[in-house]
């Protein structure tokens, strides 16, 4: 006899629990009792039956990692789906993977997010089901209905088969779809119709046999996958094979048609917590029948209300009855509790209500969208131009590069640092350069306009220490200084906003520096990713991912987290692009440093600024301990119900991954500008400040 395995299925959108499920997947909502999440309660409940190593989770990677972290599961306990395809493929996949380990084993299929009151009765029911499974039955627990529910499918029980653990196991005559109200009343009266709990028990071999019989696409996918188990080819094969599988539920795809089905009628206090009314029912309520989680409620003449907030706060209720009030950083729901089933309509209504993008594009009066779309061409053109530059021989033989530049120009230095990991590259955003630089340093003055006073001042300061220098600008005083002093100067095209000329500044330099023996790895890869992204993110592909992200950041204060050595400058670019294009406050911070200070600020952040949204920018080249820190931080944020997003770079090389994240951020900032109803291009406060300073004469370059 094989062992018993618990397989938790974690799919489902939880639309009726909008807006909480915008912020957290349903299994992470804190309704599991004793302050636990639903998934933790599910896990704790089944543990005594199967033991720690035998609980598995099936979900897509992102969700599985989130939920696995919540439960402290090992990687091997996560069965990753390439994408969600309803429950039949998930069950088939788990049966294949686990059946290979233990062909005689039995699996318990458990939804991640149900509530059960009497755990002892639940355990006995499952043991009885395991007995029936040993006899070759596909078993489902049938909940004895307590009212004529129209929200559940039903199972019709037939003759009793045997008794075990105090339960009677019945043959199941048939599965029936959700009934209308009068049929539901009839089922209730008949007494042999039970709610389909979604909890199933069967042997691996039996469910695979029935899948083979009724779902040929899934069966073929599983047969193909068998030879890839445990091999590096697994992921690719899984993605391919999963696309053949029928997208259907195990109930509809298998149980409605299969042979030897049994059901065990149970009444252990079950709820699928599908909507806010169901949540209200299971929560502890005060004398006025108000239930609340994580909020301090003060009520007067208020009864039967549910109040839930993702950020702790005080809520006053005056003269209101039977409402569901649900507050999250993104959205607020106020609904009659009896209409809880229809909250899905609200969720869908909002999802469909995309902004009128074509109308918003008209706000882009100065043409930033076009510049953005042509960015990959800008980079290619610049690279070609840079490769034509011939530097005098005296310029070579440096050990370090110091780039002086501000704002949109200064970022060039940071990106050069990423492009040349073997070389020390320092970006100076100041009037002076560090004292330690000497003839071993190549000084690069970068100013798009050529007129930025800090850059000019630092460039002149640097020239006192090294003769190895070059300037890059579209003209201005930097060009004059270079020409007067016989310093190589690279001209780039006029007519751009400095921040939108990053391709010209960076790639011209990358091309030119090749002549000095510096070659950046990953340029070709980066450029081809940028070209693809231009097509995916441009206004013609509406709605797109950048627009979705812009919507998530609208009305928030984004705090962008980068990692030292990889995404730190990209986080800074996101921040400055959001500032300059979207005219919106944004901040950036750096890992691991922020683990030593910023995180302490989470303690009050919930109360002070629930509209902060954190964004983790990640690459596969982040230090492994930094990657681990991100995982831990995500757990902390989740526990504190603070919202965050996570974005991964595309491609292989560090440069390609950095550029892909940078370009995504640039698009997001422009779409965010349009959502904020501002023209992305003008940056009047910068110009004003420059003008104001120009009035106080200070011209070290004269």
Catalytic residues: 580, 596, 690
| Closer CB to ligand F6R, 455 or 653, in the complex | 455
Question: Which of 435, 66, 67, 63 is CA-nearest to residue 55?
Answer: 67
**Binding flag, residue 423, ligand F6R (CB under 6 A):** no
d(CA 443, CA 454): 15
Q: Given candidates 249, 305, 447, 584, which one binds ligand F6R under the rule CB under 6 A?
A: 447
Q: Mask of contacts with ligand F6R, 149-168, x by CB under 6 A?
A: --------------------
x/- binding map, residues 478-517, to ligand F6R, per CB under 6 A? Answer: -------------------xxx------------------
- Is residue 665 near ligand F6R by the rule CB under 6 A? no
Of 13 and 494, which has the nearer Cβ to ligand F6R? Answer: 494
Residue (198 or 471) nearer to ligand F6R, CB:
471
In order of 122, 160, 223, the CA distances from 167 in angstroms are: 11, 10, 37
DSSP bridge pairs for 8:
57, 110
Q: Which stretch binds ligand F6R (CB under 6 A): 63-71, 330-338, 404-412, 604-612?
A: 404-412
Angle of the 87-101 helix axis to the 204-214 helix axis, nearest 10: 140
Contact between 449 and ligand F6R per CB under 6 A: yes
Q: Would you say 149 or 678 has its CB closer to ligand F6R?
A: 678
CA dist 403 and 101 (Å) reads 58
Which element (helix H / strand E) includes 510? helix 502-514
Alpha-carbon gap, residue 404 to 454, rounded angstroms: 8
List phi, psi (to 5°) of 371: -60, -40
Q: Does 409 sit near ligand F6R (CB under 6 A)? A: yes
User: Rounded CA gap, 413 and 152, in Å?
Assistant: 60
Which residue in the set 122, 448, 574, 616 belongs to the binding site for ligand F6R (CB under 6 A)? 448
Among 14, 407, 606, 610, binds ligand F6R (CB under 6 A): 407
Residue whose CB is less far from ligand F6R, 413 or 562: 413
Instruction: Specify whether the CB–CB gap between 207 and 95 falls below 8 A.
Output: yes
Rule CB under 6 A: is residue 427 a binding residue for ligand F6R?
no
CA pair distance 534, 377, nearest whole angstrom: 10
Instruction: Please tell me whether residue 408 binds ligand F6R under the rule CB under 6 A.
Output: yes
Q: Which is nearer to ligand F6R, 279 or 492 (CB)?
A: 492
- Give the burial class of 298: count Cβ atoms within 10 A of its Cβ; 0-12 exposed, 13-18 middle, 19 or more buried: exposed
- Contact in structure between 200 and 137 (CB atoms under 8 Å): no
CB of 476 to ligand F6R, least distance (A): 8
**Least distance to ligand F6R, CB of residue 409, Å:** 3
Q: How far is the CB of 681 from ligand F6R (least distance, A)?
A: 8
> Is residue 455 a contact point for ligand F6R (CB under 6 A)?
yes
User: DSSP labels for 436-466?
Assistant: T--TTEEEEEE-SSS--HHHHHHHHHHHTT-
DSSP 8-state symbol, 499: G
- Give me the 534-573 binding string for ligand F6R, x by CB under 6 A, dash otherwise: ----------------------------------------
**Smallest distance from ligand F6R to CB 511, Å:** 20
Please work out, in degrees rounded to the nearest 5, the angle formed at the alpha carbon of residue 41 by the alpha carbons of 150 and 285.
65
Q: Which residues contact ligand F6R by CB under 6 A?
A: 406-409, 447-449, 452, 455, 497-499, 580, 683, 686
């Amino acid at each position: 006899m094989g062992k018993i395995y618990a397989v938790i299925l974690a799919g489902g959108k939880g639309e009726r629990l909008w807006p909480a499920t915008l912020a957290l997947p349903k299994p992470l909502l804190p309704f599991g009792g004793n302050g636990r999440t639903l998934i933790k309660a599910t896990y704790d409940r089944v543990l005594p039956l199967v033991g720690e190593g035998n609980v598995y989770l099936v979900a897509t990677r992102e969700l599985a990692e989130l939920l696995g972290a919540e439960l402290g599961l090992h990687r091997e306990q996560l069965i990753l789906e390439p994408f969600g395809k309803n429950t039949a493929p998930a069950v088939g996949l788990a049966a294949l993977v686990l059946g290979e380990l233990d062909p005689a084993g039995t699996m318990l299929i458990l939804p991640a997010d149900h509530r059960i009151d009497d755990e002892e009765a639940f355990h006995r029911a499952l043991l009885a089901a395991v007995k029936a499974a040993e006899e070759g039955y596909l078993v489902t627990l049938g909940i004895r209905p307590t009212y004529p529910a129209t929200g559940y499918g039903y199972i019709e029980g037939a003759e009793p088969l045997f008794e075990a653990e105090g339960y009677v196991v019945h043959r199941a005559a048939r599965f029936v779809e959700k009934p209308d109200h009068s049929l539901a009343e009839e089922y209730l009266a008949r007494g042999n119709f039970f709610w389909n709990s979604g909890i199933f028990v069967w042997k691996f071999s039996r469910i695979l046999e029935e899948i083979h019989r009724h779902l040929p696409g899934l069966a073929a996918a599983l047969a193909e996958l068998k030879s890839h188990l445990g091999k590096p080819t697994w992921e690719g094969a899984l993605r391919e094979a999963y696309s053949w599988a029928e997208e259907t539920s195990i109930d509809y795809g298998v149980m409605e048609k299969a042979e030897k089905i049994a059901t065990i009628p149970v009444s252990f206090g079950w709820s699928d917590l599908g909507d806010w009314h169901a949540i209200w029912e299971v929560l502890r309520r005060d004398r006025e029948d108000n239930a609340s989680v994580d909020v301090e409620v003060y009520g007067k003449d208020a009864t039967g209300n549910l109040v839930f907030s993702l950020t702790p706060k005080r809520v006053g209720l005056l003269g209101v009855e039977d409402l569901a009030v649900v507050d999250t950083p993104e959205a607020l729901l106020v609904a009659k509790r009896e209409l809880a089933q229809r909250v899905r309509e609200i969720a869908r209504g909002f999802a469909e209500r995309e902004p009128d993008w074509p109308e918003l594009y008209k706000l882009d009066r100065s043409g930033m969208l076009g510049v953005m779309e042509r960015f990959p061409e800008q980079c290619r053109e610049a690279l070609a131009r840079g490769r034509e530059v011939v530097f005098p021989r005296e310029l070579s033989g440096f050990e370090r590069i110091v780039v002086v530049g501000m704002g949109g120009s200064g970022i060039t230095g940071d990106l050069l640092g990423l492009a040349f990991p073997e070389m020390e590259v320092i970006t100076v955003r100041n009037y002076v350069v560090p004292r330690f630089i000497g003839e071993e340093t190549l000084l690069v003055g970068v100013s798009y306009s050529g007129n930025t006073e800090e850059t000019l001042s630092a460039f002149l300061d640097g020239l006192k220490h090294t003769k190895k220098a070059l300037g890059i600008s579209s003209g201005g005083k930097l060009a004059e200084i270079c020409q007067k002093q016989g310093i190589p100067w690279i001209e780039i095209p006029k007519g751009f906003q400095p921040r939108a000329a990053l391709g010209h500044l960076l790639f011209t330099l990358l091309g030119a520096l090749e002549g000095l023996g510096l070659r950046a790895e990953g340029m070709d890869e980066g450029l081809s990713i940028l070209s693809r992204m231009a097509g995916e993110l441009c206004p013609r592909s509406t709605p797109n991912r950048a627009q979705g992200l812009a919507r998530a950041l609208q009305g928030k204060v984004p705090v962008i987290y980068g990692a030292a050595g990889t995404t730190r400058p990209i986080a800074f670019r996101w921040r400055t692009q959001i500032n300059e294009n979207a005219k919106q406050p944004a901040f950036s911070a750096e890992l691991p440093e922020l683990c030593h200070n910023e995180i302490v600020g989470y303690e009050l952040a919930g109360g002070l600024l629930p509209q902060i949204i954190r964004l983790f920018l990640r690459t596969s080249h982040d230090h492994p301990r930094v990657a681990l820190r991100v995982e831990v931080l995500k757990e902390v944020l989740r526990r504190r119900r603070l919202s965050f997003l996570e974005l991964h770079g595309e491609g292989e090389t560090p440069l390609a991954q950095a550029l892909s994240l940078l370009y995504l951020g640039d698009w997001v900032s422009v779409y965010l500008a349009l959502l904020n109803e501002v023209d992305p291009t003008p940056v009047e406060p910068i110009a004003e400040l420059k003008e104001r300073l120009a009035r106080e004469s200070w011209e070290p370059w004269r």
